[in-house]
């Protein structure tokens, strides 16, 4: 008999969770068959929130990169789609290509910002988002603060449009969840875990922290861009001030912080909660947004690991944890 260490596989409760997730996804795909237009629209927004939360969590929770400038990519994604559509591309194709163009833009940016200290990175991203907004405003197509509508989308039958956008949103959520699961369970996840635990030690055993961070930064940029394009497609009008608004960052931060920074399911939980809060209290407008800020402060100070942290505290383990556990096998 010899003993060796292996990386623990996926546990039974986690398997059940994943199966449940699959069922929910199927249900979401089927929803347009019986859901009302309003429900479909609302759920599209929820999907956008989930994508954003998952992407922000990849950045902050797994790569230690706290950005308050992800709206740069949300807005840029929307702008590219607008540009492509105006130059004659079919809208739904443009939505896909928009993400790719943002990848091309994010790559040179990553060279710049990833070399900054963590706190400087946060603000520098914000400044970059503003810079990109100022550049976009130069395009006469955008019509300054007024913004511009995706006119050709209006030409499509509203029901078809709504359903297509919704289905794209569900696909994007499924892809981002599956992809980040695969990534975090794979080599990148192990490396980012090592960096998160001890950056110096990780780089001393040959993990290129810059490479890992760059990958996650780029993935998150593309994810935010896709969320931005879907949001634009359902909101129709591209307005630089809202597309590049700091509110996006506040929402992302709220969802991830409240749900559970650095956990796999936390951001999904956070997005659901944020969506629900928005539905219930959204009518209070500014006071509601002020409340979001206060809740974020309270969580940051008193429960920095969010709801998921509280669950872990109770049950002793994290559902669908991405942490790799070494277990002893005999055989």
In the complex, the residues that contact other proteins under the rule CB under 8 A are: 60, 64, 66, 68, 112, 115-120, 122-124, 126-128, 130-131, 134-135, 137-138, 144, 246-247, 249-250, 253-254, 257, 261, 285-297, 300-301, 304
Q: How far is CA 5 from CA 110, 189, 192, in A?
A: 37, 19, 21
Task: Write the CB contacts of 75 (distance below 8 Å, at least 6 apart in sequence).
Answer: 129, 132, 133, 136, 228, 240, 243, 244
Beta carbons of 314 and 270 less than 8 angstroms apart: no
Least Cβ distance, residue 73 to other proteins (angstroms): 17
How far is the C-alpha of 310 from the C-alpha of 304, rounded, in Å?
10
Q: How far is CA 71 from CA 45, 58, 250, in A?
A: 16, 15, 10
Residue number, 100 or 284, with CB nearest to other proteins: 284
Residue number, 13 or 304, with CB nearest to other proteins: 304
Please, where are the H alpha helices in 114-198?
Answer: 118-137, 151-155, 158-185, 187-197
Least Cβ distance, residue 297 to other proteins (angstroms): 4
Q: State the residue for tokens 């429900």.
A: 39
Least Cβ distance, residue 217 to other proteins (angstroms): 16
Residue number, 19 or 112, with CB nearest to other proteins: 112
Residue number, 21 or 245, with CB nearest to other proteins: 245
Least Cβ distance, residue 29 to other proteins (angstroms): 35
Least Cβ distance, residue 242 to other proteins (angstroms): 12
Residue number, 119 or 155, with CB nearest to other proteins: 119
């Amino acid at each position: 008999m010899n003993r060796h260490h292996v990386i623990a596989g996926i546990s039974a409760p986690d398997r059940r969770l994943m199966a449940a997730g699959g069922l929910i996804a199927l249900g979401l795909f089927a929803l347009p068959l019986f859901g009302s237009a309003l429900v479909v629209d609302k759920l599209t927004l929820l999907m956008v929130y989930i994508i954003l939360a998952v992407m922000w969590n990849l950045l902050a929770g797994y790569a230690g990169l706290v950005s308050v400038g992800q709206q740069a990519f949300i807005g840029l994604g929307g702008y590219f789609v607008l540009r492509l559509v105006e130059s004659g591309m079919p809208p739904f194709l443009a939505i896909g290509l928009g993400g790719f163009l943002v990848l091309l833009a994010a790559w040179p940016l990553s060279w710049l910002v990833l070399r900054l200290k963590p706190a400087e990175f946060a603000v520098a991203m914000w400044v970059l988002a503003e810079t990109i907004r100022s550049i976009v405003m130069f395009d006469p197509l955008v019509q300054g603060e007024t913004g511009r509508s995706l006119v050709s989308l209006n030409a499509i039958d509203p029901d078809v449009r709504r359903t297509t956008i919704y289905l794209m949103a569900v696909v994007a959520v499924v892809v981002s969840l599956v992809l980040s699961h695969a990534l975090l369970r794979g080599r990148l996840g192990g490396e980012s875990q090592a960096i998160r635990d001890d950056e110096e030690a990780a780089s001393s055993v040959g993990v290129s922290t810059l490479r890992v961070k760059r990958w996650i930064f780029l993935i998150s940029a593309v994810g935010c861009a896709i969320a931005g394009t879907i949001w634009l497609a359902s909101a129709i009008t591209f307005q630089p001030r809202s597309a590049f608004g700091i509110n996006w960052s506040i929402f992302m931060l709220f969802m991830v912080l409240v749900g559970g920074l650095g956990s796999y399911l936390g951001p999904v939980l956070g997005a659901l909660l944020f969506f629900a809060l928005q539905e219930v209290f959204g009518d209070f407008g500014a006071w509601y947004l002020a409340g979001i800020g206060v809740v974020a402060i309270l969580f940051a100070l008193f429960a920095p690991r969010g709801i998921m942290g509280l669950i872990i505290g109770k049950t002793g383990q994290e559902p669908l944890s991405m942490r790799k556990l070494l277990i002893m096998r005999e055989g």
